[in-house]
Amino acid sequence: MFSKEESRQLRHEFWTSFGKSFPRKWILYDTKIKGFSFKFHFDTKTALVALDLEDDLENRIKYWEKLQSLQSILKSDYLPNAIFDEEYFLDNDKEISRIYVLLEQKVSIHNKNTWRDVMEFFNTHMALFENFFEDYKDILED
């Protein structure tokens, strides 16, 4: 069991190490589309990369429909294991729409032995998400 401070230090160490191991400017919040962002998530049980729609319901529906129309392309050409979840609830009970890819192995941010696998997963899968976004950005923005 880790104290809050030990956990905070491990998280900081992971993200610093990830940034040094894979130095790259990720798109993340800089999509130029309101409420549309990419996220990395790593905690004591899971690691995933996600595309989140967090705007008002009307905008979420508009972009969700566009993303659903591209679902077969995303899965066949970029991320075959992508999960589409129109009603995803965050830990704070906020409802969003999310497309994500989950690392299918047991990992924990508290276990440094799993860090390399998570970093490689993040680098590979977020790059594929970003490639999809760049290739279909015109359709999504339209």
- Is 31 in contact with 22 (CB distance < 8 Å)? no
d(CA 57, CA 16): 35
| Cα-Cα-Cα-Cα dihedral sign, residues 121, 72, 61, 131 | positive
Predicted confidence at residue 69, as pLDDT, reads: 97
The total domain count for the chain is 1
Helix (H) or strand (E) holding 95: strand 95-102
Q: Helices marked H in the chain — which ranges?
A: 4-21, 57-69, 71-73, 115-141
d(CA 43, CA 110): 8
Q: Helices marked H in 22-114 — which ranges?
A: 57-69, 71-73
Q: 3-state class of 99 per DSSP?
A: strand
Predicted confidence at residue 51, as pLDDT, reads: 97
d(CA 100, CA 49): 6
For the chain, list residues with pLDDT below 50.
none
d(CA 12, CA 29): 20
Domain residues for the domain of 121 are 4-141
DSSP 8-state class, residue 76: I
pTM of the predicted protein model = 0.93
Predicted confidence at residue 2, as pLDDT, reads: 83
